[in-house]
Chains A and B, each alone.
Chain A
Amino acid sequence: MNILIALFSTVGALAILFASIGILRMPDFYLRLSVTVKAATLGVGLLLVSAAILFPDVSVTTKAIAIAFFLILTAPVAAHMIGRTAYHTGIPTWKGTVIDELKKNQPTPPPVADVTPLSALKRKPIKKPSDEGS
């Protein structure tokens, strides 16, 4: 039992540590936001699981599950709202950002590459008159 609690709390604390390192080292607001929500929620959820294991009581287990459920429910909503606000306020994205779907007047995306192989492009196929009927 103690080993299980130690395991869960260690993994949870390490997830929280990685989240804080990520919020310190990421180059962009949006990357920081994505780090904050997922890893920290996972870490706190694992700590709550270890608390639910320790107390052999239904009320405590229910309480821990309620806290974890509430965190999982509310963290993406808050992250979505603050991210939308940040985009509309004009916080710049990182220079390595590939896609920005909210940008106005963006050029049309390049057409999907056709799947014909390179050898077929170099030499045009010879049309046979017998093929047109099919």
Chain B
Amino acid sequence: MTLDAYLDYVIFPILTISIILVFIRLFKGPEVADRVIALDLIITIGIGLITTYSIRSEQAVLLDVAMILALIAFLGTIAFAFYLDKNKQP
């Protein structure tokens, strides 16, 4: 079994199943904060997917996208936390 086939048939399905599971939590999360952390986890798994695809296709340029995505995930979570804290009921 080559590495490419292993990545295709084991690693990608595991990551896809985990994104689907997190998406269920994003869909039914009872509070806004649950959805925020579900979105954060989806972006983190997306970084892992991009990294795995960069291994699979041997294109090292794709890691730049992963870096930008990590930046955006941090900024998004901080902004959500800031505005939720500003918007809270006294």
Contacts and interface: CB of A to CB of B under 8 A. Distances in A.
Interface of A: 2, 5-6, 9-10, 12-14, 16-17, 19-21, 23-24, 29, 32-33, 36, 40-41, 43-44, 47-48, 50-51, 54-55, 57, 59-60, 63-64, 66-67, 70-71, 74-75, 77-79, 81-82, 84-86, 88-91
Contact of B77 (A17, A70, A78): A78
**Chain B interface SS verdict (over half):** helix
Interface in B1-55: 2-3, 6-7, 10-11, 14-15, 17-19, 21-22, 24-25, 31, 33-34, 36-38, 40-41, 44-45, 47-48, 51-52, 54-55
B11 A19 contact: no
21 contacts: A6-B6, A9-B7, A13-B10, A16-B18, A16-B45, A17-B17, A20-B21, A29-B34, A32-B37, A36-B44, A44-B48, A51-B54, A55-B58, A64-B51, A64-B63, A74-B74, A81-B81, A82-B36, A82-B80, A82-B81, A88-B88
